[in-house]
Amino acid sequence: MASQTLQSVPGEPTAAQHELSLEELARREADGQAYFDKVMADDSRIEPRDWMPPAYRKTLLRQISQHAHSEIIGMQPEANWISRAPSLKRKAILMAKVQDEAGHGLYLYSAAETLGQPRDAMMQDLMDGKAKYSSIFNYPARTWADMGAIGWMVDGAAIANQVPLCRASFGPYGRAMVRVCKEESFHQRQGFEILLELSHGTPEQKQMAQEAVNRWYAPALMMFGPPDDDSPNSKQSMAWNIKRFSNDELRNRFVGMMMEQVRVLELTLPDKDIRFNEETKKWEHGPLDWAEFHEVLAGRGPCNAQRLERRREAHDDGTWVREAAAQYAAKQAKKQAEKEVAA
């Protein structure tokens, strides 16, 4: 625990806050900063009511809401195959998986809300194109094998990224990640299993699997973000104990993991330059097309327009339902209050 002189909640925010003297405000801010610095030094956790630097709050809000948006938009390419899943068991698994993703979105929006922004506002930013989400979901899921490749590679990359986030310095984010990672790990195994079944199936099925792996390989590697020398925010995030490993470190680790597993699948990765560097003891991969990454990020990917339109459509179609629920809740609350007055 922090020493007694350090306060985690430097004064309750009150209506009278603006009446505090400048000296008092400065003192509270200094106390808060001292506590925050100590938490960082101890590698401990900041909770929502603790003081935090505005930039820390902003960074987390951006990262967690982007993460939530990715879960929500990420439902679409897989939901696209629920109706056509080739067996009832696969249909059930896929449905459960997409449902999990909605659940991840919910935890993450809730975690982000503790930083002071309501879910509606975050959703609105997404629909207005102001907020980003993982670019990978702007690629189309063309065949059933994509359900395998997305589970194995995309969820696999997500896990590699997210396991260290379980130790993120912001409490609600770290705790949400623990649960998310457990489910993601299950998702990855189901993706692997789909590919395994396909690669041991008919020649056409095996080809379908290989083509999906080929298509998702580079986008999955790019999920870790730009190379370290081109990742301006990484350094600060690492100083704040949000990020624990650099983009390239995580990416290389992921390549090594895939190299082992792809052999079991009896498939190949579409990259002839993958090798284990004996000197650095690290995996290396071939060059990635970062120009394409930036194109998709800028909104010029195959499905950017489609994904956002689908989200807007669902949101707009549901407006009257949300209004009805809010209205009903208000009426019920009023009735309850009247009952209590009468009693």
- List binders of another protein among 160-199 (CB under 8 A): 194, 197-198
Beta carbon of residue 205, minimum distance to another protein (angstroms, whole number)? 6
Neighbour-count burial of 211, counting CB atoms closer than 10 A to its CB (0-12 exposed, 13-18 middle, 19+ buried): middle
Size of the site for another protein (CB under 8 A): 48
| Structural tokens at position 259 | 């190299």
Pick from 96, 238, 264, 298 the residue near another protein by CB under 8 A.
96
Is residue 203 near another protein by the rule CB under 8 A? no
For residue 17, what are the contacts with CB-CB under 8 A and spacing of at least 6?
A: none
Q: Which one among 6, 95, 163, 259 touches another protein, defined by CB under 8 A?
A: 95
Give every CB contact of residue 216 below 8 A, 6+ residues apart in sequence: 136, 139, 146, 149, 150, 153, 154
Tell me: does residue 111 bind another protein (CB under 8 A): no
Check residue 331 for interaction with another protein (CB under 8 A): yes
Do 243 and 62 meet the contact criterion of CB atoms below 8 Å apart?
Answer: no
**Least Å distance between CB 303 and another protein?**
13
Q: Which of 143, 154, 134, 266 is nearest to 216 (CA)?
A: 154
Residue for token digits 């130790």? 167
Give me the torsion for CA of 52, 56, 59, 60, rounded to 10°: -50
**CB of 90 or CB of 251, closer to another protein:** 90
Does position 72 interact with another protein (CB under 8 A)? The reply is yes
Q: Does residue 294 interact with another protein by CB under 8 A?
A: no
Residues in 211-270 at the binding interface with another protein, rule: CB under 8 A:
none
Which positions from 121 through 150 interact with another protein, judged by CB under 8 A? 144
Q: Are strands 275-277 and 282-284 parallel, antiparallel or unpaired?
A: antiparallel
Q: Which residues bind another protein (CB under 8 A)?
A: 72, 75-76, 79, 82-92, 95-96, 98-99, 102-103, 105-106, 109, 144, 194, 197-198, 201-202, 204-205, 310, 313-314, 317-328, 331
